[in-house]
Structures are given as C-alpha cells and as structure tokens.
Structure 1
Amino acid sequence: MAGKSIERIEAIEALTKKSLWLASWMVHHANHIRPNPDGVKVGGHQASSASMAAMLATLYFGVLKPEDRLAVKPHAAPVFHAIQYLMGRQSRQKLIDFRAFGGAQSYPSRTKDTEDVDFSTGSVGLGVAMTAFASMVQDYVRAKDWSGKARPEGRMIALAGDAELDEGNIYECLLEGWKHGLRNCWWIIDYNRQSLDGVVREGLYDRIEAIFKAFGWKVVTLKYGALQRAAFEEPGGEKLKAWIDACPNDLYSALMFRGGAAWRERLNDEIGDQGDVSALLSRRSDEELAALMANLGGHCVQSLLEQFENAGTDEPTVFINYTVKGWGTPLAGHKDNHAGQMTSAQIEQLRVAHEIRDGHEWDLFEGLKQADALADFVRDVPFNTAESRRLTSPAVPTIGPQFIGTGATSTQAAFGRILDAIAKTDSEMARRIVSTSPDVTVSTGLGSWVNRRNLFARKETADLFQKEAIPSTQKWRFTPDGQHMELGIAEMNLFLMLGAAGLSHSLFGERLLPIGTLYDPFISRGLDALNYACYQDARFLLVGTPSGVSLAGEGGAHQSIASPLIGMSQDGLASFEPAFADELSVIIDWAFDYMQRTGDARPDLADWPRDVTGGSVYLRLSTRTLEQVPREIAPPLVADIIRGAYWLQPPTPQCEVVIAYQGVLASEAIAAAARIGGDRRNVAVLAVTSADRLNAGWQAAQRARLHGNFETISHIETLLKGVPHRAGLVTAIDAHPATLGWLGSVLGHRTMALGVEHFGQTGTVSDLYRHFGIGAETIETTCRQIFGR
C-alpha cells in the first residue's frame, strides 16, 4: 500500500520538488542547450509551471482516481510532462525534445502528445469550460441504460491560471452549467495574481468569489499554508496575518523576488513592535522567513490534500489557491517572469538547491532521499493504473440513407425529415444520437426529432403547455431518456458541448453520435471553440442552417458569406453543401459512419480523403425550396457525391462552357444552362457537393505526384479531363467566390467565379441574386462572355 515506507505528505513534497526541477530544466535545455538552427525563440513558461507544481503533484500523486479527467493549465505543460515522466507515461527523449518536432508539446495535446492527456488546452479558457460540458455529457451517458452506468463517476477537473478568467467563454459556460445542474466538476485556480503583462487588479478575488457563488458553486479558498497558519498561532501572529491580507498584490510579488532580507526590513518597518511581532520575525533566519512568506496555500501539500479530500459532495467546486508565480525558483514574484527564463547562473543556483549532479539532470529521483521508497509510492498511487485511461466503444452500425421522396423541398426541411425518419426507427444508431442547439432548435429543423426523442434532463419535467391543454406543435418534455441538450444563445457553448459529446467514447466508454445545429453565419461566433473541438479529434455532425443571401428577408447579420471557406480550411472537418434531398440523405448516412472511424494513421498525417481515420462533418443547408431531380441514386453516384462532385449534365467533345455550382444555386445553374442550350451551345453542369473534399483530394494528388506517385489522379481531375481545354468554367455559389474559383487551376481552364463578397441586405431572393450577380441571368451572361457571344 502506498505510503508504508515514506510518509504521504513527505513523498508528495519530494515529488513536487522533483517535477519542479524537471520542468525548469526541460525549458532551460530547450532554449539554451539544445541546438537551435533557425534562431527562433523556443519558450516554455518556467514561472507559470512553478506556481502550479504543488497542485499538480498533489492531485496526481495524492487525490486523483483513473476515472477523473483533467484539463491542465496550458502554461503548466512542463510540470505536467515531468509528472507523466515520473509515472512512466512519458519518455525521457520526449522531455529532451520539448517543443521540438516529435517532442512533448508546448501545451498538453490529446492528439499530439503520447502521454495521458484528457483535454487539450491552449491558454484561452476553452479547456476550463470543456470540463463542465464533459461533466454534463457524463451525466447524459449515465442516465441511459448502457454499460457506462456501471463505471465509477469521475470528476471533471480544470486547472486554470487566474488570468484565464478574463475569457468570456468561461462565464457563458457558468450560466449553462447552472441551467443543467452541473455536478462533479472542479475548477482549481492558480491565483498567482500575475498575468502575461503584469499584476492583476486589486479586489479580483472578491469578484471571482461572488460570481461563482451566484451560479451555485461551492467556493473553497486556500490562502495560507501550514507554516503560515502555525505562525499565526504564535504571539504576534494575528498582526502578521492582517498584514498579509492587506498587502497589495504587486508589493507581495516584489518582496518575494527580493527575498528574506527584504521581507524582514518591510515587516519590521510596518508591523515590528519590539515585542511579539519582532520576536516572531527574529526567531526565523532570512531563509526561513522567505519560506514562511512563500508558504501560500497553493504551494502547501498538507493544505492542498486537506481541502481536496474534504471537498466531499458532487456539487461544482472552485478552489481559489493563492500562489506565487515562479515559486521555488529565482524568478519568483518578478513581474517579467511570465515569458522570462532563468539565466545559466540562476539554473545553476536551482541545481545546487536541488542537489542535482552534472550529467544526471534527467534522472528520475536524482537529488531526493529514499529513492526506492518514492519509486514504490509512485507505482502504487491510485491514478497510476496500468490500464489505459483512454476508453473505447464499438462503432454503431448505420441504417442506410433515409430517402424522403421527390417533392420540392429545401435542404433544411429535408434534414428535419431525414432525422424524423431516423427517430422512428428502433435502431441503435437512433438511440446513440444526441442533438444540441443554442436556442434555435425549431428554426434549424430539429423540431420533429425532439418531439419524438424528447429533451434531456436528469429529472423528469412535464411540458406545462401540454399539461394545461394548450395547443403547440412542440412537445417540450424533459426526461433522463431524452436525446436533445437544449442550450442558451452562446455558440461557444455549442461547440464545447459537441466537443465533449464527440469524445464520449474515449472519456466515458460509450459512443455518442452528436448533432449540433446553428444559424450558419454564427459559426464565426464560436469558431475558436469549433477549432478547439476539432483539435481534440472530437467527432460530431455540425449543421449550419439557414445560410447565404438566399435567407433574403433576414438581412446581412443573418446571411453567411465565408462559412464554406471555414469548412474548407478547418482541419478535422469534412464540409458539404448539397443542393438536393437525396444528396443530403447519402451524406448524412456517410457522416454517421465517418464520425466513428479510427485508424492507425495519425489524423494530421493521413492521406485525404481521411477515410481511414475519420473526423467530424459540417453541412451547410438552406431554407430555399428547390424542385428535386427525379433519379435513382446508384452506387457510382453515391461515391461521387461523397467525393465532392458529379456531372448533372456531362460535357461532350464540343463543350464550350461548364457551369459549376455548389448548394442552393443549383436552380440558377440549371436554368442558365437551359437558356444557353437553346442556342445549341454545349453546356455542361457540374454539381459540387463538397468543394472541401474536391480541393483536398486535388492537393493530395499533387503532393503524391511530387513524391513520385505519378499515376495518382484526383476526383476533380478525373471529372474535368473530358472538358476541352478551350472551354471555360463559370462557378457559382451563394457564398464567397473563392470557394470554387480554384477549379480553373486544376487543368488550366479559363474561369469566372461568381459569388458574394460583401455583407448582404434585405429583399427578395431574386432581388439579392440580381444585386450580387449570382442569378440565372448573370450566369448566362457570364457564360456567353466566356465563349465570345
């Protein structure tokens, strides 16, 4: 049993000291010893790591269980990597290569670090908020009749710097957590009162405490360490405590940097009384006095253990732990220490203090007494299980495309009908879908799905309108069996929820198929969190609807322009914009399979299409009704839809122009082709379902040929090879023209790209199409200019 050969607190204190040294040396080695041929600063945040060393060591070596999940403060990455190294979960070479290619990452990363990272973090508060949504997803999974219910509940824990509390997404998350009865969530704040550029404002603590209490969180403040609390019990201790409480943040930091003699001078000047206080100070050497004043709660293992173990209940809890930035290093307290690094002289000073011999800097227990006992202690701590903490869940079989007829419809309406058809099935796939939306559930097509599958809550809540016999098309019944998570109007929260639900198979061992809907232009509002969710390799289906200036009456604030370019550029996200309901049926069926794929290749190294590793999927849909094309969706057409394009009207050797469209402009493209065809001109029509997939496939083929695979040819090259070189291309999209404008570069065809480059406005669809030059008449005129008519 852990702790037999060495006292628990003594062991964690020793491991804190060791992780602090390894973190400091890791950064120093990366910046001052390892060759740096390009001369670019490496960095590494020694001071930010130091302020959290005791907290991380106490958690990992004393408190955590395997089911707990952590988002580690990004600037504490070096001490996190050091702790993983001590537990045998990280290699020495990775530490040596910290911030180098293939080494330990600058900030903890699920997808790029080899050790046990639960949530990627990156200094913008997203990792903090992610833990709250992970806790909500854990509650969702445990409410179902699945095997996951048998797993022990874990705590979702975030370790954050106080400066991260400036991030707005944290407060949006607090409100959402209150709505959903958040539980099993800890946020541990490194309250070192320093940010990147300086010292935080006085009185911040009171504001933090008030905000968390307002949202129902338990607030635990850990200000004083055991040494300080003992000193306060001595004669004169009350005056020392009062001085500490009244001391401004910047003065405390400055005195920490100056050391014991400065502390003595200041304290004697301000509270020395030639009596009890003076005696309290004189009983301590300068070194002991400096250690006393540095013994804030966040650095005291004994105090940290007491608070963490006494937290008890499942109510959300925030620990505000007072610390000193740079604690335990020569950088402690200096206002420039965030990006600052120890000089060679200072690292030698630290080496001597830690009793590290030259050439033994990376040794596991170098400089520590009872090395064998410490090794046993580390091996036996509850968190250091031999089993992988990254769980798995089998893929859920898909049920095939849900075709919904050939009547005129919009893609948004078709999406709702397809989901309704899935909801009617008694399939495992239907049971594993969880939908979510930021207060636009009905207006994005989820109404029928929610009526059939209900909203999720841990406790049953009846629909009051139904209970009072008030007619309504929406049946808003909350139940533990429900499959929709209703969110407030905050797109950041939507993407964080999708990120957490999209990792459920790995975090909680139960597969979910998350679907998130929002108005397409508001993707930009939550883009940071969308990128973050993709960086985690979370898997979800994102539906942006309605979109474009086709949403004519809503005006520019609700009309998206750049979202297809976001879909093309966002890593980990396959983007589609179908025009017809049958295309959408095929894509949704493929998406549910694609979201569940895994492979040996890393996501950032896989060939495109990423049909081995899979990913998330984004659909850009419209509310504009189109006449459907009566046809049979045969396997070759299915394949082309997924690859990104197919010929609606194929070219002949006499072809003079190709009209390539994506999305809702299908009707305009078809009408323009019909008008030109009346002049016996040969016009081909290319239906693009995914500029993203087309472009990425083309780029991949070019890279393959660059490396000697000369037979490789992309789907778009195959499609365009039958188009005579003399022919021109006209591309059209209800979005930025650059989405399709690159098509002319594939084989060198002359190209005119039509689209929307400026903010929209109100009007009819025909008004706006005419204004922006994307209607059938403009497409026809552009085609005639291309072939000189």
Structure 2
Amino acid sequence: MQNPDRQGPSGVDEEDRQFETSVQRHPAPSVNERPLSAASSFSGSTLDAVAQRVLWLSTAIIDAANRGRETAGGIKVGGHQSSSASMVGIMTALWFAELGSKDRVSVKPHASPVLHAINYLLGDLDEEYLPTLRSKGGLQSYPSRSKDPDTVDFSTGSVGIGATAPVWAALSRRYLQDHFQLPEGGRFYSLLGDAEMDEGAVWEAIIDPEVRQLGDVVWIVDLNRQSLDRVIPDVQIQRLQGMFAAADWQVLTCTWGRRLQRLFSQPGGELLRRRLEEMPNQEYQRLLRSHPDEAAARLLGDGPDPQLAELVSSLEPRDLAEALRDLGGHDIQELLATYQKIDDTRPTVIFAYTIKGRGLATEGHPSNHAAQLTEEQMRELAALSGTNLDSPWGRFPEGTEEAALCSETAGRLSRTPVPQTSGIPVPKELKWKHKQLTSTQATLGRLLSDLKRADPANARRIVTVSPDVASSTNLGGWINKTGVWSLSERRDWFSDDDETVLHWQENPHGQHIELGISEVNLVSLIGELGATWSRWGEPLAPIGVLYDPFVPRALEPWMFGTYAGGQSILVGTPSGVSLAPEGGAHQSMNTPSIGISTPGLDYWEPAFAQDLEWSLLEAISHLGRPGGRSAYFRLSTRPVEQSLAALPEDPALWERRRRQALAGGYRISTHSAEEDHVVLVGAGAVMPNLCEAAETLDTHGVKAGIVNVTSPSRLFQAMRARDSLEPGPGTAILEQLFPTAHPAPLITVLDGHPHALSFLAGVRGDRTRMLGVTEYGQSSSLPEAHALHGIDAGTITSAALDSLGR
C-alpha cells in the first residue's frame, strides 16, 4: 500500500514516477505503424496518426479538467486517463474503418473522453466543450445519452448495465422490425472493461435464450487485466471464453500485435509465446514497469531455455520493451482483421488484449486507474502526438490524409434525424364495467385485453414483459389474445390440450416477451423498449410485470434506464403483506419509498379497478414522447368490494372523480370536510380496513373523513410545486383533499413502510399517526397479517380515538 505522504499531485508515488518517466522516454510508447486497412482507403500510418491524436485529445480533456481548472475547496475533479488510453486502438479502428451509420455503440464508462475526442475530430462536438469535462453544462463524467452535447448512443455510467444495454436495444429493434416493418438496422456494439465481467448483469444477459439468436450484437472486451485498485490476479481468459461459448456466442480473441507475431515465427518464438501466455498478470504488469535494460532478465527468469535466451538476446533493450507492449488491442490491423471474422448469425464477443494506460507514462502501473500525468509528461506526450500543450485542441490541417479520413468517416456515420413522436393516443377510459369484487392484479389482465378490443391500432404498441410469472400475475388473457413474441415461430405442443388455459403461441407477431427469472434483464429490456421512440421514431408502451418484493433487486438498472431516456411502466404485484400466506419472504415494505423518490416516475397504488383503469391509461399516454414519464404500479391480490369507491353516476361528477384520481386521490366520505373530526388516509389494499374503521368510529360519534390516495408521488409533487421547490402538477388537489380551513388529525395507513405517507402531515400541519409495515412478517391469514402489522380496522380505529384523546 502506498504512503500518501510520498505521493505526487497525480496520486502516484514519486519513486514510481521515476519509472514512469523512464518508460515514457526510453521505449517511447506509440501506436505501431499499420499497413493499408481492408476496411479503409487510407494508409496504416494515417490510422496511426489519428489514433495518436485521439490518445492526446482524450488525455488532454482530463488534464484540462484537473490541472487547468480551479475547484472550490480543492475537490478533485478526476477522470481516467489510463482507462481511456487502453481503448484508443479499439475505438479508432471501430469508428474510422468499421462502423456504419446504423450501428450503435455503448462505450465503457471510463473511456468517455475517447468518445468525445473522436466526436470532436468528426465535427460532432464544438471545441468549447473539450475543457468542460465534469463541469456544469459540460461533458458528463460518463457517457450520457440525455446530458452530453455530442452523439452518445448509450448511457453507461452504471458498470455492467451499460454493457448489456445494446443487447436489449438489439432485441427491441428486432421487435420493431417484426411489428412495424422497419428496415434492418446495424450492429449493436458494447465496449466494456474486463473488470465489468464481474457484474452479474453481464451473465444474466448472455444466457437469456433469445439473446443467442442476436447476430447483430458484438461485445469487445478491453482485456487490460486491471481493476480500480489492483492487477486482477488470475489468468481467467479460458474460463471467460468457455462461459461465452457455452451460451452459444462466437468467441474471438485479439491477443498479439504483428511485431510479436513476427518474433513468434522465429526460432525460440513458440517458447516466447508460451512464456507470455503462462505469465501471471501481476508479473506481466511488473515487466512493463521495468526499465528496458531490466526487461530481458525479468522475461527470462531463472534457468531460461537457451533458445528463448538466444532470441531475447538478439533484441535491443528498447526493441524488446516495445515488443512486449505489442498486444492485439493496440494493433489496428489485427483489430480490423478480427472484426472481419464476426459471425452475423449469433452474438460475438471479442477479447482484445490491451495495456491500461498504453502510450502514457503511467502504462501498466497497478495504481494508474485515477492517476494524472504531470505537466512535463503532458508536454512529452504532446510532442509525440504532433501538437503542444499550450494549444491542445488542434484538428488535422486541411489537405492532410488524416483530415480526409476524418471527413470521410463523418460522412459515412452521418445519421438521418429521428422523427419526433407524440406518444400513444390511448382513450381516457374504456366502456366496460368492472366486477363488483375484484383485485387490482386481476383487473390489470382484463384491462390490457379490453384495451386491445377497444383500440387495436394503438394497443399494438403495448408490449408486456415478465420473468416467468405471466400466469401468476394474471396476464393469461392478454397472452392468449396477443401471443408471445419470439424471433422465430415455435410450435405449441399443448394447443390441443383442453385442460390448458394459457395458450403459449410463440411467433414474431406476439406482444408478450417472457424472460428467464431475471429482474435485471426485465427492467433493462423495458428501458430499451421504452427508448425506441427516440432511437427509431416508433413509440412502444412496455409494461414489465414482476413480483413487488423483487422491485428493489431491479431498482438500479431500472433507474439507470429511466436516466438514459427509457420510458416504461413497471408493475409490482402482489405487494405488501396482503399476500398473507407467502409470509415475510415475499413481502415488500420499502417499495412505496422507491416509487416516491425515483426521478421521472409516477407511482400509483390504486385500491379500486376504475382507479387502475384511469391511471394505467394515463401512464401509457405519457410514454414514447419528449418529456414523457415512466410509471410504477403497486398492485394487490386482495379482492376489494368496488362499491366502497362510491363512484358517482352524474357524468360531470364522474369526470371530476377521474381528474382527482389522476391528480393523486379523492375523498370517499359522504359528509363534507368541515365535519371531519379525524381523517383516515390510505392507499391500495388497506382501503376496506379504513372504511370499516370509519363505520366503527361513526358509532362512537366520531366523523372520520376518508381519503383514498391513488398516487402518493403525485401528491408529493404537488406539495413540492406548491412550495416552489420544483415544477409539478396542479396543486388544487391538496386543498380539495385537505382544506386549510378545516384541519383535523390524520391517520395514514399503507401496506408498506408508514413513512411513505408521512409527508402528508406537511400539507396543512396536521397531527399525524402513521400506520404501516415496519417488521418482517410470517405466513398467516389476511386478517392475521394486517393485525400483526397494525394496519387492520381495529388498530386504525384505536389510533383515531387516541389522536382525539378519546
């Protein structure tokens, strides 16, 4: 472990810096000369020069954000020069000789400066942005599709999630092609670091059955064998290759550059190859950090083979040091040759061997992750790159081959603007009545089927997704009506079985997608399905359905999907402890908090079928358009008597009720608010308990108002808007539910954590008692579960009387 007192300004020990400077000056790392690329009319030296300029620009972008910017309190800006450098060859070869305008690329988070450098050379980014990395209004710390000023195909700040996003984008594109006759698209590339392979999301994605048919998916792994803190200890490439191959992926490896390959063909070359392939990662990294004069001894080790020793001794120290750095991920010709081998009938992974920090003074250092070059080292790099530190942003002069290559690439990658969409114009409500005794979970399936019947043109844009829980979440009727989408048609062997209720018809025209039991895959897919409006001008309404207790498991990738612009609906059902026999293992107490606190999201917990109808159609109408929002529904299996909603018959009052339900809630009391002694406020499955408690209180001479909250988040947004803290929906609903002139104690009740409704105390400053679930439960009957957690009618009645001093 390093001594912080001996560290220089870049976070690297001064003793180590002596090695950095010697490595920079002696081997003078640079991109090797390349012959003419098969995919380009420009010479290899032209591609080399472009790669070197990309290296310089990406490094200078980070340098300008740190040495060139004063920060309040000396807070470090940061950036990843070494992580960017290892990607330069891979990305230069890809952009300047391989990509087409229909291709889409996800760039590993720490290589965002390389993306911005390339976009700048292609004229897609103004010079004024280059010094603005990690500043307000400037370049984001990691690629951001919604916040960066230049072209970014995928947001990738969340490690592992950005890597898998192109898989789900490819699947979404295939879905669109099958349903809306879009022309074929291009490839979907993921550029990821080898440390990202530790993320479970990666492996959940590659083993999904549908994924193995996506021949337009290509992953390129930057195999630099370093993570944030260390050199990865194991040589695990064979294991990784085997895992991808077992999932039916094509596996390609770009290991050695041409210089080393020529050495391998000489006497003793096979021994050299074997030595390098069997060398532990740490030993190889230490070899890179050695002075060129020490490299031969370290390479040969104790008791070397005479033939290997003869080969090594024939090389000058500088040449040997350069050869040891000659990995395939930095050899553009080798990369392009590897790209030509991609099999378009199945997904492909390319393992490209690289050196973290290649071409920088920090290359190969185990602590180089966040290290910054010194001013002296920046000037040396500038000289190697044909530019200078005092004027760092120069493009290639007009008339040069490099400028012509940038111009040709910019033209080749030019895209037709995506047409703006206005969303999906679903009706405000449907014409069919609901059952008198039903649950919101059962209502969901019927609503989707009814919408297909009422508005088939727009209902064809609905796509449901579930992780092997379609039948248990009441999607059976919808699936029977629309079918299951599959890349190819599969025979339903139970179609002639009279006892089979769910007909599993798989074909390219279905509207339900069934994944394996992976919540991460589900939310990642609905995020990309919800981005098709902005990628290709075709809006979809993706509705993902999963058990509510598993929403926290899927939260991070779903939040990242909404941040990246994916608009979707997530249905968590069943929720709370109301699925009483399942017990504590399947209860969800904290999901209401998730619904309220997630940006760009409306959280709905309707108690009644009509409320669900209104709010679901409202949520669909907000998808697939600029400024749209995602939605989260928390539904229940508890059958509820629908007459408790006291739906008005008068058309004007009916419309008023609909507007109130969409604003966040409504009163179902028969008396006016000025008569309230106490107000019972609830959402979802507990509403029958509130109604029962109100009846009991009435027998004791206590008038209890009842407020049915349909959307806690919309009420919270209204409060924030009222207080001028953020723009939001109309605030009139707050006065309608909690009139200022008639304060009364509040009893809030929720089948979830009670603090999720606690903000309502601030609407008019009422004394509040909050009932909800704060402990893990156990298997029981429904009345026992509600009583155990204090959300039953008896506890509500007692809390109301206590609040009145009765």
TM range (shorter): over 0.9
Q: Is the contact made by 2:250 and 2:343 (CA closer than 8 Å) also made in structure 1?
A: no
Shift of 1:500: 1.5
How far off is 1:444 after superposition?
A: 1.0
Tell me if structure 1 keeps the 8 A contact 2:122–2:409.
no
Cα shift at 1:720? 4.8
Residue 601 of structure 1: aligned partner:
none
Q: Which residue of 2 aligns with 1:160?
A: 192
- 1:638 and 2:654 are equivalent in the alignment: no
Query: 1:424-439 alignment to 2 at 5 Å?
Result: 424-425=453-454, 427-439=456-468
Q: 1:259 to 1:364 in 2, by over 3 A?
A: farther
Cα distance in 2, alignment partners of residues 270 and 33 from structure 1? 47
Going from structure 1 to structure 2, the CA distance change for 1:625 and 1:5 (only over 3 Å counts) comes to closer
Superposed, 1:656-667 pairs within 5 Å as: 656-667=677-688
Aligned equivalent of 1:88: 123
The answer to whether structure 1 residue 323 and structure 2 residue 354 are counterparts is yes
2:111 alignment counterpart: 76
Instruction: Tell me the TM-score normalized by structure 1.
Output: 0.92
* Counterpart-to-counterpart distance in 2, 1:726 and 1:575: 26
2:336 aligned partner: 305
- Write the mapping of 1:428-577 to structure 2, written as runs, cut at 5 A: 428-467=457-496, 469-577=497-605
2:760 is the alignment partner of 1:743: yes
Determine the C-alpha separation between the residues in 1 that align with 2:348 and 2:174.
17
Query: 2:199 is matched by which residue type in structure 1?
Result: E
Say whether the 8 Å CA contact 1:652–1:682 is kept in structure 2: no
In the alignment, what sits opposite 2:321? 290
Q: Is the 8 A contact 2:466 2:545 kept in 1?
A: yes
Q: 1:635 to 1:357 in 2, by over 3 A?
A: same
Cα shift at 1:239: 3.0
Query: What is residue 745 of structure 2 aligned with on the other side?
Result: 728
Residues 558 and 283 (structure 1), Cα distance of their counterparts in 2 relative to 1, 3 Å cut? closer
The match for 1:703 is 724
Matched residues, percent identical?
A: 36
- What's the offset of the Cα at 1:735? 0.6
CA 1:8–1:388 in structure 2 vs 1: closer, same or farther (change >3 Å)? farther
Partner of 1:105: 140
Report whether the alignment pairs 1:782 with 2:799. Answer: yes
Match of 2:164 among 129, 148, 172: 129
Q: Look up the match of 1:690.
A: 711
CA distance 1:745–1:427, change in 2 (3 Å): same
Match of 1:407 among 427, 436, 442: 436
1:559-614 deviation digits (Å, cap 9, x = unpaired)? 1101110011111221100011111111111111111331xxxxxxxxxxxxxx12
Task: Say whether 1:418 aligns with 2:418.
Answer: no
Name the structure 1 match of 2:290. Answer: 258
Partner residue of 2:634?
620
Structure 2 counterpart SS, 1:331: coil
State the SS of the aligned residue for 1:377.
helix
CA contact (8 A) 1:698 1:715 kept: no
Matched, 1:647 2:663: no
Q: Is the 8 A contact 1:235 1:280 kept in 2?
A: no
Aligned CA distance change for structure 1 residues 372 and 3 (closer, same or farther; 3 Å): farther
Please state how far the C-alpha of 1:340 moved relative to its aligned partner.
1.9
Per the TM alignment, residue 721 of structure 1 is displaced from its structure 2 partner at its CA by 5.2
Give secondary structure in 2 for the equivalent of 1:381: helix
Are 1:115 and 2:135 an aligned pair? no
Could you tell me how far 1:474 is from its partner in structure 2? 0.5
For the 8 Å contact 2:249–2:347, the answer to whether it is kept is: yes
Q: Give the CA deviation at 1:259.
A: 4.3
Partner of residue 379, structure 1: 407
1:15 is matched by which residue type in structure 2? V
Which amino acid is 1:353 matched to?
L
Is residue 2:384 matched to residue 1:353?
A: yes
Q: Distance in 2 between matches of 1:507 and 1:720?
A: 41
Task: Tell me if the contact between 2:452 and 2:459 (Cα under 8 Å) persists in the aligned partners.
Answer: yes
Task: Indicate the RMSD between aligned Cα atoms, in angstroms.
Answer: 2.5
| Worse-matched range after superposition: 390-399 or 775-784 | 390-399
CA distance in 1, matches of 2:624, 2:488: 30
What aligned pairs does 1:27-66 form with structure 2 within 5 A after superposition?
27-66=62-101
Residues 8 and 508 (structure 1), Cα distance of their counterparts in 2 relative to 1, 3 Å cut:
farther
Q: Which residue of 2 aligns with 1:767?
A: 784
**SS of equivalent residue, structure 2 residue 675:** coil
Distance 1:371 1:106 in 2: 34
SS at match of 1:325: coil
* CA distance in 1: counterparts of 2:341 and 2:206, whole angstroms: 23
The equivalent of 1:604 in structure 2 is none
> How much has 1:128 moved relative to structure 2?
1.5
2:269 is the counterpart of 1:237: yes
Deviation at 1:270, TM superposition (A): 6.1
Q: Which moved more, 1:557-566 or 1:31-40?
A: 31-40
Letter of the structure 2 residue corresponding to residue 462 of structure 1: R
Q: Give a deviation string over 1:153-182, Cα, whole Å, max 9, x none.
A: 211111111110011111111111456633
Distance in 1 (alpha carbons) for counterparts of 2:389 and 2:692: 79
Gap change, CA 1:776 and 1:450, over 3 Å in 2: same
SS in 1 for 2:208: helix
Residues 13 and 394 of structure 1, relative CA distance in 2, 3 Å threshold: farther
Q: For residue 481 of structure 1, report the CA deviation from its aligned partner.
A: 0.9
8 Å Cα contact 1:234-1:280 kept in structure 2: no
CA distance in 1, matches of 2:494, 2:532: 34
Distance 1:140 1:735, change over 3 A: same
How far does the alpha carbon of each residue in 1:689-715 deviate from its partner, in whole angstroms, 9 at most, with x for none?
Answer: 11111112211221259x9x9xx9724
User: Unpaired runs of 5+ in structure 1?
Assistant: 599-612
Report the Cα offset of residue 76 of structure 1.
0.8
Counterparts of 1:449 and 1:311 in 2: how far apart (Å)? 39
CA distance in 2, matches of 1:313, 1:685: 61
Q: In structure 2, how many angstroms separate the alpha carbons of the residues matched to 1:273 and 1:458?
A: 55
Correspondence 1:675 to 2:678: no
Q: How far did residue 268 of structure 1 move?
A: 5.7
Structure 2 letter corresponding to 1:458? L
Q: Distance in 2 between matches of 1:530 and 1:583?
A: 25
Kindly indicate whether the alpha-carbon contact (under 8 Å) linking 2:42 and 2:405 is maintained by their aligned counterparts in 1.
Answer: no
Question: For the residues of structure 2 that align with 1:360 and 1:342, how far apart are their CA atoms?
Answer: 17
Tell whether the 8 Å contact from 2:272 to 2:308 is kept in structure 1 after alignment: no
Indicate the residue corresponding to 1:228 in structure 2: 260
Deviation at 1:657, TM superposition (A): 1.0
Do the aligned partners of 1:518 and 1:545 also contact (CA within 8 Å) in 2?
A: yes
Partner of 1:395: 423
Letter in structure 2 aligned against 1:32: R
- Give the stretch that moved more between structures: 132-141 or 568-577: 132-141
TM-score (norm 2): 0.90
- CA gap 1:577/1:279 in 2 versus in 1, 3 angstroms: closer
The one of 224, 232, 235 aligned to 1:203: 235
Question: Where has structure 1 moved over 4 Å in runs of 4 or more?
Answer: 2-6, 177-180, 268-277, 388-394, 723-726
Asked if the contact 2:223–2:351 (Cα under 8 Å) also holds between the matched residues in 1, the reply is: yes
Contact 2:746 / 2:769 at 8 angstroms: preserved in 1? yes
Query: Shift in Å at residue 489 of structure 1?
Result: 0.9
Tell me which moved more, 111-120 or 159-168: 111-120
Letter in 2 for 1:692: S
Flag the 1:78–1:218 CA change in 2: closer, same or farther, 3 A.
Answer: same
